Amino acid sequence: MLRIHTGLYHFDYCSQAPHVDEAVKIIYGDVPELDQPVDFKIRIIFESLVRRFIKPQVSFFSDQHSPFKPLPVSQAAAVLEWGMNWCIAAHEYNKLLIHAAVLVKNGKAIIFPALPGSGKSTLTAYLGLAGWSTYSDEMAVIDTQSGQVSPLYRPVCLKNNSIELVKSWHPAANFTPICRDTQKGDVAHVKVMDWQRYQSLIPVPIVAVVFPKYRANTELTIYQLSHLDAFNVLSKNAFNYNVLAKKGFETVDKIIRNTAHFEIEYDNVADVDDFLTEDIIESCR
């Protein structure tokens, strides 16, 4: 068993697909040995001897449970990250989890809930490698008492054309090898901060909720959302909203009442950076 530390959650893992260890080293290799209780024990294994040699397939297990169908061994590194997401989303009952990216500047967080294809992860990678702190690409972890969001030490998941696009912006960044032809297309993960920087991060207040939508060949367009519209979309993006029941409702309500909320359509990520910095971060004193 080897150890993966993501800051808030700790995994023991083993993999029968050797290239998974390479991807783990790229993303988490700078984390020192930490004496922390393990939250999850996970495995990437060949369930079938035949499938180990003929059209090899692997399965993800958390303890004795496998939430996914077997997938080609070439996709094992992506399966590991997806499985870790599943572990957290399926078992965290104390904090509100929202399917959203979280970017922080000057101690102020903006969360970005979005559907697949919105360009959320591309925008997250751009901002995270351009001075913002990436608290998450996939999952906002929010304290139900304070309403503050905590950082996770995880990479950004890029798909298809976004991989080469982000490489062109930041050629020195650390990328995992590309997993081809997954259910999401071609997938690679990019490291957006090192462990030393992560250790300096603390929970911070949320000042805005922004729903991004990439649209080619369009100027940045900004729509201010009503409290009701923002509440509906945010609550639908929460993994454990129903599990938390009243506490989930109250936490989403607290976020909406204390933040600005926008929907944006964009083509140029630099324009989005300017809008977020000048109109949200710097205007929130």
User: Is the pLDDT assigned to residue 20 strictly greater than 90?
Assistant: yes
Structure tokens that stand for 7 in this block: 């800051």
Dihedrals φ, ψ of 140, to 5°?
-85, 125
Q: Of 13, 12, 58, give the one whose Cα is nearest residue 179.
A: 58
Number of H helices, E strands in the chain: 10, 17
| Rounded Cα distance, 137 and 283, in Å | 24
| Rounded Cα distance, 129 and 188, in Å | 16
Position 248, amino acid: G
141 class by beta-carbon count within 10 Å (0-12 exposed, 13-18 middle, 19+ buried):
buried
| Rounded Cα distance, 110 and 104, in Å | 6
Residue bearing tokens 């000042």? 207
| Rounded Cα distance, 36 and 171, in Å | 34
Q: What pLDDT is attached to residue 107?
A: 96
Q: Of 77, 165, 70, give the one whose Cα is nearest residue 122.
A: 165
Return the percentage of the chain with pLDDT > 70, whole number.
Answer: 97
For the stretch 27-42, pLDDT in tens is: 999 999 888 889 999 9
User: Is the pLDDT assigned to residue 285 strictly greater than 80?
Assistant: no
Position 38, amino acid: V
For the stretch 98-110, pLDDT in tens is: 999 999 999 999 9
For the stretch 227-272, pLDDT in tens is: 999 999 999 999 999 999 999 999 999 999 999 999 999 999 999 9
3-class state of residue 75 by DSSP: helix
Q: Of 53, 18, 45, 69, give the one whose Cα is nearest residue 177.
A: 18
In the chain, what's the furthest Cα-to-Cα distance? 62
Dihedrals φ, ψ of 255, to 5°?
-60, -50
Segment 6-19 mean pLDDT: 93
Pairing of strands 139-143, 133-136: unpaired
User: Is the pLDDT assigned to residue 118 strictly greater than 80?
Assistant: yes
Position 82, amino acid: W
Structure tokens that stand for 98 in this block: 């929202």
Q: What pLDDT is attached to residue 52?
A: 67
Segment 176-189 mean pLDDT: 93
2 — pLDDT class (breaks 50, 70, 90): confident
Segment 66-87 mean pLDDT: 94
Segment 212-235 mean pLDDT: 94
Classify 95-155+192-285 by CATH class.
alpha beta
Position 253, amino acid: D
Domain boundary assignment for the chain: 1-91, 95-155+192-285
For the stretch 49-67, pLDDT in tens is: 656 667 789 999 999 899 9
